[in-house]
Amino acid sequence: MLMRAAVLTEFGAALEIREVDIADPGPGEVRVRIKASGVCGSDIKALDGKSPVVRQLPFVLGHESAGIVESTGAGVTGVRPGDHVIIAMNGACGRCRNCGGGRFHLCGGPARTAAIMGTMRDGTTRIKVDGADAKTMIGIGSFAEYAVVNEPMCVKIDRRAPFDTMCLLACGVVTGVGAVLNVAGVTPGSSVLVVGCGGVGLNVVQGAALAGATTIIGADVAESKLKLAGEFGATHTILSTDLPRQVGEIVRGGVDYAFDVTGVPSVLGDAFASTQPGGTTVMVGSPPQGRPLTIEPGLLFASRRLMGTQGGDAAPLRDLPMLAEQYLRGRLDLDRLVSERVPLEDVNEAIRHVREGAVARSVIVFD
């Protein structure tokens, strides 16, 4: 079947809107008609040739998505044509050691491992560009009209929920809220620092509010992002210059929890130094490879914890429906996260806006 897709044919260059071929779903696979796809920083990192899992071109980017099941392969029982679904980043197998221990985000099953590298379980792809196989972003490739994915990646959602906000749950929202609820375990009445108030950081702020934190400090170098942080639940905002000092002026001795969403090692060190003894720091942003982190050992000695997270350590079948329900009940603000909605033809313009930091989230929408 032919479809339109935004194809990466040269690192650093604009994506090309091409007509490509997408195959029928194989056993255990689902073909989804994409209705909306967010433009994520991970896609831009891949576009620039900085992703360790994107090396072979042509390639179809996009992974933060939602749509309608169009067809299913043999053996699929969890979804059927017409179902509304979010495509989860993590399609856990449910059978490996990590899944057995409830660590679904660390699934080591063959389908999950293959998807990370952009292929289906058997190592093949379902998209061809001019006859050549094209891999897809973490096995999805949602900058396209359709995507073929493994069944466990399809999470059914309420038909009342709009696709242009539900797509955000797949990555930016579950990463931010999950870092708060699943990883740090923020407690009611606690104090929280969020460094980096872009799309994911705003969801850390929202997660902290959901968890009942009473002091939520948003920190960034852009005043426009701090304004948004205040709208999403931050009780205080600071332009980052000297984080430990600035935070100490708001919460004497430091915060209970700090979240670095920038991915900059030096910023992570400052966030860690902004916590009180016994505090917890979570690295949410993806750091560059090969860059060391420097922290004062004495700070760590005072029972402080430094943790990492991968996609909010989410269990998609549990977390995504829960977040969708929070949205429908008015407890999670997704509408204001969407700064713009653009057709596929304007994907490069949307990417430019994300690079400039002019938007919380750009969403590609399909008729």
pLDDT in tens, the chain (367 residues): 999 999 999 999 999 999 999 999 999 999 999 999 999 989 999 999 988 888 889 999 999 999 999 999 999 999 999 999 999 998 888 889 999 998 999 999 999 999 999 999 999 999 999 999 999 999 999 999 999 999 999 999 999 999 999 999 999 999 999 999 999 999 999 999 999 999 999 999 999 999 999 999 999 999 999 999 999 999 999 999 999 999 999 999 999 999 999 999 999 999 999 999 999 999 999 888 888 898 888 998 999 999 999 999 999 999 999 999 999 999 999 999 999 999 999 999 999 999 988 888 999 999 8
Question: Alpha carbon of 28 to those of 7, 116, 175: distances in Å?
Answer: 26, 17, 26
Strands 64-72 and 29-38: antiparallel
Q: Around Cβ 263, how many Cβ atoms within 10 Å? A: 18
Instruction: Tell me which fold the domain 2-156+334-365 belongs to.
Output: Quinone Oxidoreductase; Chain A, domain 1 (3.90.180)
What is d(CA 1, CA 189) in angstroms, rounded to the nearest whole number?
A: 54
CB 84 within 8 A of CB 154: no
Record the pTM. Answer: 0.94
Phi, psi at 6, each rounded to 5° = -90, 115
Q: Considering the domain 176-310, what is its CATH architecture?
A: 3-Layer(aba) Sandwich (3.40)
- Sign, Cα dihedral of 119, 125, 128, 132: positive
Domain ranges of the chain: 2-156+334-365, 176-310
Residue ranges of E strands in the chain: 2-8, 16-22, 29-38, 59-60, 64-72, 84-87, 127-129, 132-136, 146-150, 154-156, 191-195, 215-220, 236-239, 255-260, 275-283, 305-308, 338-342, 361-365
Task: Give CA–CA dist 149/152, Å, rounded.
Answer: 8
